[in-house]
Structure 1
Amino acid sequence: MTENNQKPSLPQHELLAKKTVFGTLKLSDWLFAALIAALALFAQTHVGHHMDGYETAILWGSVLIAVFLGWLFKPLRIFMPLSAALAYAAVALYQGNIGNGSHFLLKFFLSSQSAVMWQCTFVFLAWFAYLVGLALAVRKKSDSNILLTMGTAFAWISAFAGFTGLLVRWHESYLIRPDAGHIPVSNLYEVFILFLVITALMYLYYEAKFAMQKLGGFVFTFMAVVVCFVLWYSISRDAHTIQPLIPALQSWWMKVHVPANFIGYGAFCIAAMLGVAELWAIRKETQGKATWLPDSQAIEEVMYKAIAVGFLFFTVATILGALWAADAWGRYWSWDPKETWAFIVWLNYSVWLHLRLVAGWRGKVLAWWAVVGLLITAVAFLGVNMFMSGLHSYGTL
Structure 2
Amino acid sequence: MDIAQARSPAAPHPADPGHGARPPQAPVARVHWLRHLGPADWLYALALVAGAGIALYHYGAFMDVYDDIILVIHVPVLAAIGWHWKPFRPFLAAVAVLSLASIALYQGDLARAEQTFFLKYLISSQTAIMWMSALVFIATGAYWLGLVARSDFGERTGSTLTWIATTMGTTGLFVRWYESYLLGPEIGHIPISNLYEVFVLFVLITALLYLYYEGRYATRRLGAFVMLVIAAAVAFLLWYTFTREAHEIQPLIPALQSYWMKVHVPTNFIGYGAFAVSAMVGTAYLLAERGILASRLPALRVLEDLMYKAIAIGFAFFTIATILGALWAAEAWGTYWQWDPKETWALIVWLNYATWLHMRLTKGLRGAVLAWWAVVGLFVTTFAFVGVNMFLTGLHSYGAL
What is the DSSP-based 3-state SS (H/G/I as helix, E as strand, rest coil) of the residue aligned with 2:221?
helix
Q: How far does residue 100 in structure 1 lie from its aligned partner after superposition? A: 1.1
What is the DSSP-based 3-state SS (H/G/I as helix, E as strand, rest coil) of the residue aligned with 1:189?
helix
Question: Would you say how many aligned residue pairs link Structure 1 and Structure 2?
Answer: 377
Which residue of 378, 386, 394 maps to 1:374?
Answer: 378
Matched, 1:44 2:56: yes
Matched, 1:196 2:210: no
- Alpha-carbon distance between aligned partners in 1 of 2:263 and 2:29, rounded to the nearest angstrom: 36
Match of 1:160 in 2: 167
Matched, 1:61 2:70: no
The normalised TM-score by structure 2 is: 0.92
Which residue of 253, 262, 270 maps to 2:260?
Answer: 253
1:162 counterpart letter in structure 2: G
Greater mean alpha carbon deviation, residues 112-121 or residues 80-89: 80-89
Which residue of 226, 237, 250 maps to 1:230?
Answer: 237
1:379 counterpart letter in structure 2: F
Greater per-residue helix proportion = 1
Greater mean alpha carbon deviation, residues 223-232 or residues 369-378: 223-232
Q: How do 1:96-111 residues align onto structure 2 when only pairs under 5 Å count?
A: 96-102=108-114, 103-111=116-124
Which residue of 313, 317, 322 maps to 1:313?
Answer: 317
Matched, 1:275 2:279: no
- Alpha-carbon distance between aligned partners in 1 of 2:341 and 2:36, rounded to the nearest angstrom: 46
Cα contact 1:170–1:184 (8 A) shared by 2: yes
- Alpha-carbon distance between aligned partners in 2 of 1:17 and 1:111, rounded to the nearest angstrom: 52
Which residue of 348, 357, 360 maps to 2:361?
Answer: 357
Q: How far does residue 78 in structure 1 lie from its aligned partner after superposition? A: 1.1
Match of 1:118 in 2: 131
Q: How far does residue 199 in structure 1 lie from its aligned partner after superposition? A: 0.6
The normalised TM-score by structure 1 is: 0.93
2:72 counterpart letter in structure 1: W
What is the DSSP-based 3-state SS (H/G/I as helix, E as strand, rest coil) of the residue aligned with 1:186?
coil
Matched, 1:211 2:212: no
- Alpha-carbon distance between aligned partners in 2 of 1:367 and 1:290, rounded to the nearest angstrom: 15
Which residue of 83, 88, 96 maps to 1:84?
Answer: 96
Question: Alpha carbons of 1:216 and 1:17: their partners in 2 closer, same or farther (altered >3 Å)?
Answer: farther
Q: How far does residue 135 in structure 1 lie from its aligned partner after superposition? A: 1.1
Cα contact 1:162–1:197 (8 A) shared by 2: yes
What is the DSSP-based 3-state SS (H/G/I as helix, E as strand, rest coil) of the residue aligned with 2:290?
helix
Cα contact 1:84–1:167 (8 A) shared by 2: no
Cα contact 1:36–1:81 (8 A) shared by 2: no
What is the DSSP-based 3-state SS (H/G/I as helix, E as strand, rest coil) of the residue aligned with 1:291?
helix
- Alpha-carbon distance between aligned partners in 1 of 2:396 and 2:71, rounded to the nearest angstrom: 26
- Alpha-carbon distance between aligned partners in 2 of 1:27 and 1:333, rounded to the nearest angstrom: 49
Q: How far does residue 18 in structure 1 lie from its aligned partner after superposition? A: 4.3
Matched, 1:133 2:137: no
Match of 1:5 in 2: none
Which residue of 61, 75, 91 maps to 2:87?
Answer: 75
2:135 counterpart letter in structure 1: F
1:361 counterpart letter in structure 2: L
Segments of structure 2 that go 5 or more residues without pairing to the other structure are: 1-23
Question: Alpha carbons of 1:17 and 1:129: their partners in 2 closer, same or farther (altered >3 Å)?
Answer: farther
Cα contact 2:187–2:250 (8 A) shared by 1: no
Question: Alpha carbons of 1:71 and 1:395: their partners in 2 closer, same or farther (altered >3 Å)?
Answer: same
What is the DSSP-based 3-state SS (H/G/I as helix, E as strand, rest coil) of the residue aligned with 1:23?
helix
Match of 2:4 in 1: none
2:242 counterpart letter in structure 1: I
- Alpha-carbon distance between aligned partners in 1 of 2:321 and 2:32, rounded to the nearest angstrom: 28
Question: Alpha carbons of 1:154 and 1:319: their partners in 2 closer, same or farther (altered >3 Å)?
Answer: same
Which residue of 292, 303, 308 maps to 2:307?
Answer: 303
Cα contact 2:288–2:294 (8 A) shared by 1: no
- Alpha-carbon distance between aligned partners in 1 of 2:31 and 2:393, rounded to the nearest angstrom: 52
- Alpha-carbon distance between aligned partners in 2 of 1:106 and 1:370, rounded to the nearest angstrom: 41
2:182 counterpart letter in structure 1: L
Match of 1:34 in 2: 46
RMSD (Å) for aligned C-alpha atoms? 1.3
Cα contact 1:83–1:160 (8 A) shared by 2: yes
Which residue of 19, 29, 32 maps to 2:31?
Answer: 19
- Alpha-carbon distance between aligned partners in 2 of 1:43 and 1:107, rounded to the nearest angstrom: 25
- Alpha-carbon distance between aligned partners in 2 of 1:186 and 1:92, rounded to the nearest angstrom: 25
- Alpha-carbon distance between aligned partners in 1 of 2:294 and 2:162, rounded to the nearest angstrom: 28
Q: How far does residue 12 in structure 1 lie from its aligned partner after superposition? A: 3.0
Match of 2:329 in 1: 325
- Alpha-carbon distance between aligned partners in 2 of 1:66 and 1:12, rounded to the nearest angstrom: 35
